Amino acid sequence: MGKLFGTDGVRGVANTELKPETAFKLGRIGGYVLTKEAGLPKILIAKDSRRSGDMLEAALTAGLCSIGAQVFYAGVLPTSGVAYLVKKYNLDAGVMISASHNKMADNGIKFFNNQGFKLPDALEDEIEALIEKTKIQGDKLPRPIGEDVGMVHQSPNATEDYAAFLLSTVQGLQLNGLKIVLDCANGATSYMATDIFKNLGAEVITIHNAPNGSNINENCGSTHMESLQARVKAEQADIGIAFDGDGDRMLAICEKGKFIDGDAILAICGLDMKERGKLNTIVATVMSNQGFEIFCRDNGITLYRTDVGDRYVLEKMLADDLPLGGEQSGHVIFREHSTTGDGILTALQLLSVMVRKNQSLSALAGVMETFPQVLVNATVSNKRKPELPYCPEIIAAQAEIETALAGEGRILVRASGTEPVVRVMLEGRDLAKIKGFAESLANVIEKSLES
């Protein structure tokens, strides 16, 4: 069986790779696995603004209703809204239909349990195994009839309830005098973000907040920040805030027009939390910049790195009871408030630091030096990738580069899980030098692992 679940739910091109038939099975079997202890399962569904969302929502709903589930529609809502509302409404599970920052043709399905957490690998494996079993032995799950068939209910207050929660995380915050430019990526934050920041007194200019089903993430949002950068400069705004399609990540532009990534946001918020006695450790991933590692060291903050993926960040946070973690891409988790990355919440927390310290975003971001980063792909067949960690030529080449960097840089070599390439990432203060090192190491990898 091919792996159905990836690092963030099930994802693919809608109607070919992610078909309505698959959505039906995920609703039926995923719903059963998640709610088998519930007598009358209640499940929340939300989606981003993609055209294919209606199609997948209908198929997913049919699958859920076929096992007797009561389905509650929340409409277009950020992913983090699902995580929050499942718990608030005392439901058994939640489902978000979104492909996050991916192009419009893609879509995805991700589940949340009754506590608002994404599913662990073991539960996803159980769902996949049962899907495979039904292919061989037939679908023997319950099929209620008559009045026991599931129904669909609307959740008309979902957006308002989620917005009220977001505002509750920054009680007393006043943004009067601040000019903010929002980029909603024509996605899930388009219908609510502007009002939240206006309610706090800010002057808000919003761009890319007119979803038409086809323009989500199209040259906008956290993966395409050029138009936001230009607008911040033109408006002489204090900050530009960019969300992605499903609103679970956020990046910023400072008043000088410079990019502020997830590492810098973690540094700003983490230092503020440490100064207030709320933090000693931050969880980030192997992709976080070497400059962030040095920032943590210099400020007495322990840094723990995980594999790439916010789910792994959260697992470490839960295991060690840690308050803050995130990714360079802008997924930031404030565990005091949320079980997942939340773009609007992150923006509010960042703004609260600006107000509390009465400093500009550029000044706050100055606590951390960002090292230049170079990424080069080495072409390697999938069959030879397992040899990567043990090849003596590669090990020797890495050791030579590490000696040359003398603690002022970092190497990360990762085999792609989906492509026949090995990714070589180098960081250091001298861009030309690390570019040469990266290309040299990629050549060694290709020659050493030739098919």
H and E: helices and strands count for the chain: 15, 18
Element (H, E) at 398: helix 392-405
Rounded-to-integer distance, Cα 54 and Cα 379, Å: 39
Cβ pair 188, 79 in contact under 8 A: yes
Rounded-to-integer distance, Cα 424 and Cα 438, Å: 6
Left, alpha or beta for 184 (phi > 0: left; psi -120 to 50: alpha)?
A: alpha
CA torsion angle 168 117 317 305 (round to 10): -120
Pick the catalytic residue from 52, 98, 100, 155: 100
Cβ pair 288, 305 in contact under 8 A: yes
Rounded-to-integer distance, Cα 148 and Cα 440, Å: 65
Left, alpha or beta for 382 (phi > 0: left; psi -120 to 50: alpha)?
A: alpha
Q: Tokens 């040259």 appear where?
A: 219
* Total residue count of the chain as it appears in this document: 451
Cβ pair 184, 193 in contact under 8 A: yes
Asked about 98 being catalytic, the answer comes back as no
316-335: burial string, b at 16+ Cβ within 10 Å, e else: bbeeeebbbbbbbbbbbbbe
Tokens of 135: 């292919």
In 3D, which of 81, 148, 156 has the Cα closest to residue 339?
Answer: 81
Cβ pair 311, 8 in contact under 8 A: yes
- Our measurement of the distance from residue 151's CA atom to the centroid of its chain's CA atoms, rounded to an integer in Å, reads 31
CA separation, residue 244 to residues 33, 34, 102, 184, 405 (Å)? 30, 28, 9, 7, 35
Radius of gyration, alpha carbons of the chain: 23
Rounded-to-integer distance, Cα 137 and Cα 131, Å: 10
Tokens of 31: 């719903």
List active site positions: 100
